[in-house]
Structure 1
Amino acid sequence: MTLQELECAEKNMQQQWHDLVMAEQRGEALDVLEQMYDTYILLAEEYNRCSEAFEHEQDGKRGGRSAGKRGSNKRGYGSSDKDKEKDRVRLAS
């Protein structure tokens, strides 16, 4: 996993979120918004996998992971971040 691949995964995820917000503001149908949100979640999960793979590769190059670093991925999009992102979009029902 290269830094470029990781950045591409992040860009795709952020673009999907932007597209979802714009679609909601245009008044797209709820089923369309839900599908777009599902795609965003898949992209966020892909980003998390890429981020973890990149971190493992970097740790391998440095000779292993330090005990204090585990779970400190600052760029990751964990469930709490997903919840925050979800709260930003108010879907019409």
Structure 2
Amino acid sequence: MMLKLSMNVMGLCAVLSILGGCSSGEYTTYSLFQEYRDQPGNKAYAIGINKVAGAAWSAGSIQDAQAAALNTCNELGGVNCNVVDVNGSAVGY
């Protein structure tokens, strides 16, 4: 089952008691990456030039994970989002 960050953000924020806004700095791109690193299955992490990030894991395919991570990054306000990690390996450009 594919999990988008947009769905997980609310759950993660509630669990972490920072529902006031994940973009507030309390839930940083670094902490999202830490969460992403430990997730199973096909996964991808995307970040925009304005440091807004999106991640996806447990996707049906690498392509699905990449699309979900990019979509989430864009939906959260990321500018020029790019996938920078796939299944734990850095993506070079």
TM-score (structure 2 length as normaliser): 0.30
Q: Which has the higher helix share?
A: 1
Q: Which has the higher contact order (CA 8 A, sep 6+)?
A: 1
Structure with the bigger percentage of strand: 2
TM-score of the aligned structures, taking structure 1 as reference length: 0.30
Larger Rg belongs to = 1
